[in-house]
Chain A
Amino acid sequence: MAVLCVSLCICLPWIGSIAVWRCGNAHSKLQHSVASVFAVATGVMSLLLLLNPAETPVVRIPMGDFFGELTLVPDGLGIILAIIASVVGSLAVVFSIDYMHGDPQLGRYYALILFFIGAMSGLGLSGSMLLMFFFWEITAFCSYALISFHNDDPKAVSGGVKALIVTQFGGIGLLIGALIIRSYTGSYQIGDFLETAPALESGLLSAIGFGFLLAAMAKSAQFPLHTWLPDAMEAPTPVTALIHAATMVNAGVYLLARFFPAFEAVAGWKTSVMLVGLLSALLAALMATRSDDIKRALAYSTISQLGYMIYAVGIGGIFASMFHLLSHAVFKALLFLGAGAVIQATGTRDMRRMGNLSKKMPFVHATFMIGCFALAGLPLANGFFSKELILEFGLQRGPQWVFLCMLAGAGLTAWYTLRIYTMTFRGQSGEIHVVNPAPPAMKTSLAILAAGVLTTWLFAAGFSALLADSLPYHNVHVTTNISLIHEIIRAPLTYVALLVIVAGGACWQFRDRVVKKFRIPARVTQFVESGYGIDIPYTAVVRITQRASRLLRDAHSGQLNLNVAGISAALCILLTLLLAGV
């Protein structure tokens, strides 16, 4: 049973991806239904995984001496990632029925999304580092191909290439780490590594630890490797909601949480993780307050929230981090899908041209507002509980100044959330007309996600028990819903945090006065808007590559004789090297 569930979680979407591809773009209705059926079936299959979690591999595929055994382990961390990938994935697919309606290349679109869902479930469930790397790279490829889905748009193509280049850094870090671990412990199994890690040499362990941190930073778009995520917003919006908000960007946090017991003792590792999270949370939140593109603003907020999760891992709060990951996946998917509905209805992503949409799109407005509640961390939404949990953990375990910064970050979050909300749904009517306020398939996805935002925090108890039961090396603290609520209501921190959140919102509301009082120099705002100049090295790399290729173009003359000359020259060099005995 367990074997079937685990394998179907990965194989089902992949079979679906081939099926959609084979349908042909002439039968778009068939493609919509095949994709939805396979996606929803995967979602159900991943929920069935909850019935029998295990801490040892249930699927073992022996691959010989070098590759070791490829294993799939449905433990708590893996199951939660698979569930997020397939459930949010199926909702994104359902949403796409309306959003991608009439697109001429649906086959490619659905095939890639289903391929991604399978790979993401696999990434969570794999127990062997080599298999994990394999799935990790597939998700990067799908992300690239879907960002560049509109391949006649140069911005989309360059965004896709950028995402691919940056996340490849991460992939290389992961592969090198896996190979080092294999050469020292003789096994690719994550469980074996976590068991033997304390016995390994500390220098070696810190090399692997920081390599994995780099991998996580690239994948989770953490400062300073975050620049690919805002550019990835050229992807169709359901893809953004699925890959660049709910699932793939979580892989970095997942990696850190998964290997936390091994690197916990490494000197400076926890501090570095914490600081990476802190920097990303604050700087990205600042950028979100300056962005006028609704998707880019949400993308910066994703980076900032991922920063919170990484910070939580850095202070050892694995459960708080994973709980926020779950909450964030649900509410950010809701916000992005809501933004997608708005973008489809208005035909623009510029929030300055929107406004007063609450009357024209009441349903989307209501669901979006629930999402905003969760993002800002207001009570009853899942984001409130998970963020309070992280902050409280930070107060107890982490350094105080970092905690205070994160608290200020919560205020910033409220600021930009209110800004996005008012610019889109309140105020003066924009110049654009609403064409089509949310067709039924969109409404279904939005309604389910909104219900999820209001209810997923109820799973806190079951979730913590699941993690504690199936992760032998992590020290997860088990909680019950009542004690969680009790803890949060009784903690004075909750009220302080709420005060900060209200203050952040008020700052936006009375922004004219605030701006007058604290004159922010134009240079500072420009610096923030330009993304702190992080893009400069990246563009330099791209420019150098392009220049070099232009210079080398003369070598491609197509002259046969010239090519032969090149071949003989290379032969001569090789011969001299051989004779010199190098």
Chain B
Amino acid sequence: MELSSLNILFIGAAALLGIGMYGMLVSHNLIKIVVAIQILVKSALLAMISAGLARDEIQLSQSLALTVIVADTIVAVIGIALAVQVRRRIGTLDVRELSKLKG
């Protein structure tokens, strides 16, 4: 398979997706999970830009990406703020101890 620059971009996006998923699966720390979500979103951004490049509509995908970056920042901020509050009130950041469901 010929490794064009586009292919490299897509492989990078898939790799980032895998890393993010893996991070969310194995990490127990809330902050780490927020970081993993960030990586996931970055992979989506990369995929979007590459798709725009492939279809020659780079303006559209760039403007969409900008919007996503803004939304994503808010997600990150709120996630971290929640983590801080959880730590203050419950005294731990371990998601295994945060589960309140009985069953």
**Which residue of A is nearest B96, CB measured?**
A559
Q: Is the CB of A553 within 8 A of B103?
A: yes
Min Cβ gap B80→A in Å is 16
A564-B21, A565-B25 known; A556-B95 Cβ under 8 A: no
Q: Which residue of B lies closest to A554 (CB)?
A: B103
In the complex, the answer to whether A558 meets B25 with C-beta atoms within 8 Å is: no
Q: Does A483 contact B (CB under 8 A)?
A: no
**Using Cβ atoms and an 8 Å threshold, which residues of chain A touch B99?**
557-559
B21 touches A556 (CB 8 A): no
Asked if A52 is an interface residue, CB under 8 A from chain B, the answer is no
B27 CB to nearest A CB, Å: 8
Of all chain B residues, the one with the shortest Cβ separation from A550 is: B103
B19-52 CB mask vs A (1 if < 8 Å, else 0) is: 0010011111000010000000000000000000
B101 interface hit (Cβ, 8 Å): yes
Residues of A within 8 A of B25 (CB): 561, 564-565, 568
> Smallest CB-CB separation from B28: which chain A residue?
A561
Task: Say yes or no for B55: interface residue by CB 8 A criterion.
Answer: no
A560 to B26 Cα, complex, angstroms:
10
Q: In the bound complex, what is the Cα–Cα distance between A507 and B21 (angstroms)? A: 78
With contacts A561-B26, A564-B25, A568-B21 taken as known, whether A556 is within 8 angstroms of B33 at the C-beta atoms is: no
> Would you give the shortest CB distance from B89 to chain A, in whole angstroms?
17
Query: Is there a chain A Cβ closer than 8 Å to B100's Cβ?
Result: yes
Inter-chain CA distance A558–B28, complex, in Å, is 13
Contact check: which of A554, A557, A560, A568 meets B33 at CB < 8 Å? Answer: A560
Report yes or no: B21 in contact with A558, Cβ–Cβ below 8 A: no
Distance in angstroms from A572 CB to nearest chain B CB is 10
A residues in contact with B26, CB < 8 Å:
561
Residue contact A558 to B24, C-beta cutoff 8 Å: no
Question: Which chain A positions have C-beta within 8 A of B103?
Answer: 553-554, 556-557
Tell me the dominant secondary structure on chain B's binding face: helix
With contacts A568-B21, A568-B25 known, is A561 near B101, CB below 8 A?
no
Q: How far is the CB of A458 from chain B (nearest CB, A)?
A: 65
Q: Please, how many angstroms separate the alpha-carbon atoms of A568 and B95 in the complex?
A: 18
Min Cβ gap A446→B in Å is 52
Q: Are B21 and A561 in contact (CB under 8 A)?
A: no
Enumerate chain A residues within 8 angstroms of B101, measured Cβ to Cβ.
Answer: 556-558
A561–B23 Cα distance when bound, in Å, is: 9
Mark out the residues of chain B between 82 and 103 whose CB falls within 8 Å of any chain A CB in the assembled complex: 95-96, 98-101, 103
- Whether the pair A561, B24 counts as a contact (CB closer than 8 A) is yes
Bound-state Cα–Cα, A558 to B102, Å:
8
- Chain B residue nearest to A552 (CB atoms) is B103
Q: Which residue of B lies closest to A571 (CB)?
A: B21
Q: How far is the CA of A564 from the CA of B33 in the complex (A)?
A: 11
Q: How does the 8 Å CB contact mask read for A255-279 relative to B, with 1 for contact and 0 for none? A: 0000000000000000000000000
Interchain Cβ contacts under 8 Å between A and B, 27 examples:
A553-B103, A554-B103, A556-B101, A556-B103, A557-B99, A557-B101, A557-B103, A558-B98, A558-B100, A558-B101, A559-B95, A559-B96, A559-B99, A560-B24, A560-B33, A560-B95, A560-B98, A561-B25, A561-B26, A561-B28, A561-B95, A564-B21, A564-B24, A564-B25, A565-B25, A568-B21, A568-B25
A residues adjacent to B (C-beta < 8 A): 553-554, 556-561, 564-565, 568
Task: List B residues at the A interface (Cβ < 8 Å).
Answer: 21, 24-28, 33, 95-96, 98-101, 103
8 tightest Cβ-Cβ pairs between the two chains A and B: A558-B99, A558-B101, A560-B95, A564-B24, A553-B103, A568-B21, A564-B25, A556-B103
15 extra A-B contacts, CB within 8 A, seeds A558-B100, A558-B101: A554-B103, A556-B101, A556-B103, A558-B99, A560-B24, A560-B33, A560-B95, A561-B24, A561-B25, A561-B26, A561-B95, A564-B21, A565-B25, A568-B21, A568-B25
